[in-house]
Structure 1
Amino acid sequence: MLKIGRLPLLIFVIHIGIFVGGSFALEKFPASSFLQLSASLVSFIWLNHAYRLAQKASRTFWFLLNAGMLFYAVSNAIWFIYQITGKETLIINVSDYLWIVSYAFFLAALLIKTKQMSTSYSAQAYMFNIIVYMITSSVISIHFLVTPVLQLADYSMSITIIMIVYPILNLGIIFLITTLYYLMKKSEEKDLLLLLVIGFFLQISADSLYAYLAASGAYYEGHPIDILWVVATLFIGIAGYYKNGAASASAINIKNPFEEKEFIFPYSSMLILAPLVMHSYDWNFNALTIGLWITFVMTIGRQLIIINKNNQLMIEYRYLAYHDPLTGLRNRVSFQENLKDLLTRNSEQSPAILLIDLDRFKVVNDTLGHHTGDQILLQTAKRIQYTIEQPGEVYRLGGDEFVIIYPDATEETSAALAQAVLDTFQQSFIVKDYTINLTPSIGISLYPENGCNAEDLLKAADAAMYVAKENGKNGFRFYNCELDQSLARKLAIENELRRAISENQLSLVYQPKVHLITGEVTGVEALLRWNHPDLGWISPAEFIPVAEETGQIVSIGEWVLREACIQNKKWQVAGFSPLKLSVNVSVLQFQHENFLLVVQSILMETKLEPSLIELEITESIMQNIEQSLKILQSLKNLGIQTSIDDFGTGYSSLNILQKLPVDTIKIDKSFIDEMEYADERPMVKTIIDLGQHLNLMVVAEGIETESQRQLLVDYNCKIGQGYLFSRPVHPAKFEKLYLTKKWAEATF
């Protein structure tokens, strides 16, 4: 919506008032010619001011518009002089040549503006409307303006050419203002351009009506169409006034009446041409008839194209409604409808539902990025599709969840299919430069034992799938009633975990790291424990995975780090020798955007020396090696040491490991347990040798027997921890044992 200021509105009123009053009071005075001269001079002043204030990119446009209005004003002045001196003529004079020159400048200005805007906006979507409108304008001009002129033999060739040039220039201006009308929709100058479009449209309308009336002998001085020229000229001038920013105080608002209604243009063109054709039709084709047929055929053709496109869109929408856009598999809606239909039509069949969820996919997606995650999902879909046979069908429910409907299945065939799916994941995923190992957990439900509808069967498969995850992942489980209890406990843990910190249910225990030869305590690891008032002691192996799945591990990890630093500082204040304390950090916490700020804040808050903290991280950080390297280097710059926990069980790469700015590697307990068997011992020795060659401290965790300690000493591993030396203990007991130096005496 544009605003016209009070001054332009006042000038409008004055000109219209003079025109109406002059028509009655001043019969011999050419009031309309005077008003056209007055309006063109006012508009020239406004446009000239706009030109002088215009920026370089738009100066040419305003110059041409200004020049056109200057010639238009001069031609009006000459025409006015002709009339008041009695030398008037309705045929041709100098003013006609100047009017043509002014129109040529207007045409050039509009052409430049259209060209400038075409580089930023496109009118291609509206080209059909523009073409139909131009055809309508052209055939009307030819029939009512050009043809009558050509049929008059009394005029000279020059006069005839000049009278034909007018409609040609008008058609050019019509084309450009129609194009500008569509281009201006997204322009910041759309209000200003709407003024120009209105002005030139009224100007061309007045010219066309004048030409038609003059050719039929019906025009006379002071005809009502004269006011159209006055109003049109003022609208063009107001564009310059509006450009200057002088129209801030509004007196009237003008709204585009056709905004969002342009679709009616082709039909309105036919409605205009149809009565004109019927009125002028003389059993011979004329320009109006040809124009009507062309617009009719074009409109019908476009309607057929639109119908075809709509049909295509309906097909696409239906496809998207029932298919996953990423993998192309059928989606959850399709799954529910197909399973419902299967259970309804074939009540004798016993279909199985296999729900597949990728283990640790969220970690990969968060660390390596969503593009990598999408590629893994695509490869997963292809692997599952390759595994199943007709009439089985695979669906993607969302995220990393897939489901298979296996009609007429038994427990044996379902287990065989689940194992086949597991086997396809033995091969690593290759995405860009990453080699990623992922496994699925599969839950299976059978009809009708585990449910009689799609919702119950999917719920049962979901419960079985979570049990498969809790039992070590990379496996499958069938649903049974006992799983409901397991799922209920997990849900309870998830809900209660949210209050664990605020209600002081969490605590830390400490396990010493011991020199395997001297028994000296070289460090201590803080371990998290949870004592719930109703559920009792809950194992970290049970609640830590839940915390990671729900994202609560970030806040819990921050609490653990703060409490561990506070305790270490208390021991120093109590007079204990400085002791390096290790704290476990989850991947989600490590990759969190505020992780470094949190670590720095806790160190400043507790006033603990950074060198007395060691952060233990898992090998899964190697999945996003670039970000991990930056974080590890920042920690090193702070003076904080880091270690790779559970080394050898995840993503270890010798090429990457030697680049990591870490200080320690910890041998996972699973390797220590296998040392009881001679053929497994070389693996432990290899890890120790590797760490020493990389100048890394090697710590063995989970030592439970004297034979394990002795073998580690023989392999030159100097530091270890485990139940052989001490279970994790509360701070008070740790202080007592550490203070009296009885650790080594009791163990060695």
Structure 2
Amino acid sequence: MKINKKKNAIFIMLWVIGSALWVLLYKESDNIEAVGTSLFAVGGALWAFIQISRTINNSSGHRRVFWKWINRGIAANGAANGIWLAAALIGISAFPPSLADVLWLASYILFLCALLYQLFIVSREPVISIHMFNVSVFMIVSTAIIGHFFTALALELFDYSIINSVINLSFLLINSTLLFAAGYLVYLLKAKRDIAVVCILIAAFSFQSVGDFHAAYLEIVGVAVSPGNFNDVFWLAAIILLGVAATYEKIGLWEHNWMIRTDIKQPFILFPAAGITLLILFTFNSYEWRINILSVSIGIILLLFVGRNYIMNKKNSNLIQEYRHLAYYDSLTGIYNRTSFKINVDKAVAVARKEKTELSLLLFDIDRFKVINDSLGHHVGDEVLMETAYRLKNGLPYDIYRLGGDEFVIIVDDVRGNKALEAAAQVKKAFSKPYLIAGQRISITPSIGISCYPSTSRDSDSLLKSADAAMYAAKENGRNAFVFYDEKLHKKLSRKMIIESELRQGLIRHEFTLHYQPKINVQTLEVCGMEALLRWNNRKLGSVSPYEFIPIAEESGFIKLLGSWVMNEACRQAQTWKRNGIFQGTMAVNVSVHQIKYGDVLTMIREALEKSKLAPEQLEIEITESIMQDVDATSVIFDALRAHGVRVALDDFGTGYSSFHVLKTLPIDTIKIDKSFIDDLSGVKEQSLVKAIIDIGRHLQLEVVAEGVEEEVQLDALAAYECDTAQGYLFSKPLTVLEIEHFLSQHGSKAL
């Protein structure tokens, strides 16, 4: 709802000025004056109630609750003024504490509840939790000082009743607390509009306090307080300003809660200290050194200090314990974490070095844990980790550490005999029973790497590194096993590290070359194609087998650069031969599964063809059949290649993931029968199997290539089975560019 600030301001000014003029005009007529001021007061309360109700309807969260408390106070105030109006109408000019006084006091308490509620909400933040304590101290100090001077004076000089004194004291005390609490909120709040709203509240409570303190003064000097004096103008201004504050907040969009500053510091201990110092000074100057409200208040504040310090110390102790647990324990499984492991393994190595003993480290993880996470969900993976930690903790006499992910480690100190082997057997036993997770039985196995001090590692870092290497060696050995880190494994890893570091330099130094092996039409014995095969002759290592360096290139991510070089070089060479009239057939290039999964193979091939100007139909991509694990994703890539004109061949067919159903739907042009089938062609079963593969390929209109043909009898059998193409040492080994050109010039179109 749009608020007309100008109209509101005019109404407020006219209403308050009207009330003041009424007091001036009819000051000689108490009854008329009282009726008029009471009407103004009731009308002001009604207007404020309506404005605040609108704000409540347009707000939510803590703001809504805050304004509800304020509006309850407005309602109580309006009811009290209604009683004053009724008293004026029936001619009562003054009367003792009554229902009106109770309602006014209730309205003040409700206003205070609103502010204390807001302070309580912000005090949930640790940085400002001290504020409720400060407000409590202020209330005690105010009660003590006001009570000491006002109540004593009222009782001794004017023969006030205890009830009358308490009520008047309550008004003054609550007014002081309202101003203090509102001022506190101004300091805490962040948004300028919120600060402006609270400043309007402070102005309202200031007018209210002026009226109350003046009324108290009149009571002290013996003037009865009744409807129809300038105090009513101050009280009316206070009520009107409360409505203005609500109106002001309704303009614009607001957060559900008031925004609190985050840069608050805590010099607040000075305030309660100043308060208790002030009380002590008043107590020193109080009469006859007897127990009075000042000395009692000092005692209460001291008890508050003691209680607050006790609570804070307890909270700090709990926080320290919580932080310690977070620092040294795994949040998911509750066992020790990497930080604890680092501390304890360093201690264990130091003790072993000092006492000249041995210790072992068992590092293990869960085999195929990623598959569990990806297929069953991460919540199942978390349950597997928690169950694993529980089994290990209850099944092994060692501390268990979780390093992260699915990796766990055990420190076996003071190793004697086969203690490390026994620990490994205990770990495997903990995994032996199937896991029952989310109603499913899951069989889980560990791969364990074991390193020893001081035989294979000299410090904690090398211990962990060696155990990690041994663990991955266990995975390479088939998983569900344990491997000791030894000299043989050390040499293997050292060579692997050298290969990895030399790969990039080898590409820069032009150490990689392509060799080419011809593919032969079985029926005509003509050269119909070439397969590009990568070779590496390193200046440090000499000739390195592709079976050794390609897996390392895949693992390190270098295969992307290396594969791009191979594709560009093979396409360039094929186009050169075509341009020179040396060779017109297809060029087959191997692409690894890793390139398909993690590289932009389509862009790589497209750029190589554009750069070399080779026709797409002269390029054939060979991919091992392990790619068939993800048929859907593979089909998308194969379809894109074939749409571009590039042929696709499935290499090593029959060795792992072959499925005739998948073969029927997979978008390929060629299947290559693995060499292992060709080697055993002398057997009846092997002949039948090869013939069946060739027949299936022919019926699916796929080219069939036989790899590893080394003997005439194998070629004769393939010709009899109507195999399309063959390659192998019977025709030629892989040759360099010059050698293959010489081969083609000698044999012409015939390979034999």
> Which TM class, normalised by the smaller chain length?
0.5 to 0.7
Q: CA deviation at 1:668?
A: 3.3
Is 2:361 aligned against 1:353?
yes
CA contact (8 A) 1:352 1:410 kept: no
CA contact (8 A) 1:270 1:292 kept: no
SS in 1 for 2:651: strand
Q: CA deviation at 1:551?
A: 0.8
The one-letter amino acid paired with 1:562 is N
| 1:193 paired residue number | 194
| 1:521 paired residue number | 527
Kindly report which structure 2 residues correspond to 1:491-502, keeping only aligned pairs within 5 A, or say none. Answer: 491-502=497-508
Alpha-carbon distance in structure 2 between the residues aligned to 1:206 and 1:258? 28
Alpha-carbon distance in structure 2 between the residues aligned to 1:422 and 1:735? 58
| 1:35 paired residue number | none
Alpha-carbon distance in structure 2 between the residues aligned to 1:511 and 1:431? 52
| 1:76 paired residue number | 16
- Note closer, same or farther for the CA distance 1:448–1:585 as it changes in structure 2 (3 Å cut): same
Is 2:515 aligned against 1:506?
no
- Note closer, same or farther for the CA distance 1:658–1:274 as it changes in structure 2 (3 Å cut): farther
Corresponding residue to 2:537 among 525, 531, 541: 531
Kindly report which structure 2 residues correspond to 1:298-309, keeping only aligned pairs within 5 A, or say none. Answer: 306=315
SS in 2 for 1:591: helix
Corresponding residue to 1:617 among 617, 623, 640: 623
| 1:99 paired residue number | 44
Structure 2: stretches of 5+ with no match in the other structure? 88-92, 125-184, 220-224, 284-289
| 1:16 paired residue number | none
| 2:726 paired residue number | 720
SS in 2 for 1:639: coil
Question: How many residues are aligned here?
Answer: 643
Alpha-carbon distance in structure 2 between the residues aligned to 1:505 and 1:102? 91
Q: CA deviation at 1:228?
A: 10
| 1:455 paired residue number | 461
| 1:167 paired residue number | 108
Task: Identify the range of structure 1 (344-353 vs 100-109) with the bigger mean alpha-carbon deviation.
Answer: 344-353
Bigger CA radius of gyration: 2
SS in 1 for 2:397: coil
What is the identity percentage for the equivalent residue pairs of Structure 1 and Structure 2? 31
CA contact (8 A) 2:48 2:240 kept: no
Kindly report which structure 2 residues correspond to 1:640-651, keeping only aligned pairs within 5 A, or say none. Answer: 640-651=646-657
Kindly report which structure 2 residues correspond to 1:259-658, keeping only aligned pairs within 5 A, or say none. Answer: 260-261=263-264, 306=315, 310=319, 313-314=322-323, 316-318=325-327, 321-323=328-330, 330-340=336-346, 350-356=358-364, 390-391=396-397, 395-398=401-404, 402-405=408-411, 443-451=449-457, 453-462=459-468, 464=470, 477-481=483-487, 483-576=489-582, 578-592=584-598, 594-658=600-664
The one-letter amino acid paired with 1:526 is A
| 2:155 paired residue number | none
- Note closer, same or farther for the CA distance 1:165–1:522 as it changes in structure 2 (3 Å cut): same
- Note closer, same or farther for the CA distance 1:642–1:451 as it changes in structure 2 (3 Å cut): same
Alpha-carbon distance in structure 2 between the residues aligned to 1:425 and 1:519? 57
SS in 2 for 1:541: helix
- Deviations 1:496-546 (CA, angstroms, capped at 9, x unpaired): 222333332222121222233432223222122223234332222222122
Alpha-carbon distance in structure 2 between the residues aligned to 1:408 and 1:676? 59
Q: CA deviation at 1:697?
A: 3.2
Is 2:53 aligned against 1:108?
yes
Alpha-carbon distance in structure 1 between the residues aligned to 2:602 and 2:444? 29
- Deviations 1:280-336 (CA, angstroms, capped at 9, x unpaired): x9999xxx99x9999999979986994686366336414xx343x566665444444
SS in 2 for 1:446: strand
SS in 1 for 2:584: coil
Kindly report which structure 2 residues correspond to 1:105-254, keeping only aligned pairs within 5 A, or say none. Answer: 105-115=50-60, 118=61, 154=95, 163=104, 167=108, 170-171=111-112, 174=115, 190-217=191-218
Task: Identify the range of structure 1 (691-700 vs 100-109) with the bigger mean alpha-carbon deviation.
Answer: 691-700
- Note closer, same or farther for the CA distance 1:597–1:739 as it changes in structure 2 (3 Å cut): same
TM-score, normalised to structure 2's length? 0.66
The one-letter amino acid paired with 1:105 is I
Task: Identify the range of structure 1 (296-305 vs 85-94) with the bigger mean alpha-carbon deviation.
Answer: 296-305
Q: CA deviation at 1:571?
A: 1.8
Corresponding residue to 2:738 among 732, 739, 742: 732
Alpha-carbon distance in structure 2 between the residues aligned to 1:693 and 1:419? 53
Q: CA deviation at 1:579?
A: 1.9
- Deviations 1:608-663 (CA, angstroms, capped at 9, x unpaired): 22222222223443444443332222223222222233334444455544433223
Alpha-carbon distance in structure 2 between the residues aligned to 1:193 and 1:268? 24
CA contact (8 A) 1:615 1:643 kept: yes
- Note closer, same or farther for the CA distance 1:403–1:703 as it changes in structure 2 (3 Å cut): farther
Alpha-carbon distance in structure 1 between the residues aligned to 2:502 and 2:277? 77
The one-letter amino acid paired with 1:214 is A
CA contact (8 A) 2:20 2:230 kept: no
- Note closer, same or farther for the CA distance 1:97–1:310 as it changes in structure 2 (3 Å cut): same
CA contact (8 A) 1:174 1:201 kept: no
SS in 2 for 1:114: coil
SS in 1 for 2:493: helix
- Note closer, same or farther for the CA distance 1:736–1:601 as it changes in structure 2 (3 Å cut): same
Is 2:677 aligned against 1:664?
no
SS in 2 for 1:217: helix
- Note closer, same or farther for the CA distance 1:159–1:373 as it changes in structure 2 (3 Å cut): closer
Corresponding residue to 2:705 among 689, 699, 708: 699
SS in 2 for 1:501: helix
SS in 1 for 2:598: coil
The one-letter amino acid paired with 1:719 is T
Alpha-carbon distance in structure 2 between the residues aligned to 1:438 and 1:523? 47
Alpha-carbon distance in structure 1 between the residues aligned to 2:720 and 2:425? 42
CA contact (8 A) 1:658 1:694 kept: yes
- Note closer, same or farther for the CA distance 1:268–1:542 as it changes in structure 2 (3 Å cut): same
- Note closer, same or farther for the CA distance 1:230–1:412 as it changes in structure 2 (3 Å cut): closer
- Deviations 1:152-206 (CA, angstroms, capped at 9, x unpaired): 9617989658846853774576478769989999xx9933233223322432343
- Deviations 1:654-702 (CA, angstroms, capped at 9, x unpaired): 5544433223333333444455666666665565555455544333323
- Deviations 1:407-432 (CA, angstroms, capped at 9, x unpaired): 67689776788799899999999999
- Note closer, same or farther for the CA distance 1:542–1:225 as it changes in structure 2 (3 Å cut): farther
SS in 2 for 1:558: helix
Q: CA deviation at 1:472?
A: 8.7
Task: Identify the range of structure 1 (656-665 vs 560-569) with the bigger mean alpha-carbon deviation.
Answer: 656-665
SS in 2 for 1:723: coil
The one-letter amino acid paired with 2:17 is A
CA contact (8 A) 1:71 1:98 kept: no
CA contact (8 A) 1:425 1:438 kept: yes
